Structure 1
């Protein structure tokens, strides 16, 4: 059975909030000497997520 994937669209501000929240969670786990593996993976996945390129209108559509 294939795993379900989810797509989340964030603006720059929301993206920053998510990255900062994950980083704070990671730091808290480190202070508590708890494993950070899952948060590390999600943080890296979030940081490496591609941006959606804006579609450009062709010359005909611009008229």
Structure 2
């Protein structure tokens, strides 16, 4: 059975927050003497993720 893929769309600010949080988690794991391989993989995937431009349409006519 195939694994279900999940897609996460974030803007540049959210991507920065994600990366900083993962680096902080990695530092905590290193201090505890635990493995950081899964966190390293996530940092690599997020930093090398392709940029996809999305068109956002607001139905009520107001621009936020």
The TM-score range, normalised by the shorter chain, is 0.7 to 0.9
Alignment: residue pair count: 55
> Paired residue for 2:21?
21
Cα RMSD for the two superposed structures:
1.4
Structure 1 portions without partners, runs of 5+: 56-63
Higher helix share: 1
Q: TM-score, normalised by structure 2?
A: 0.79
Q: TM-score, normalised by structure 1?
A: 0.80
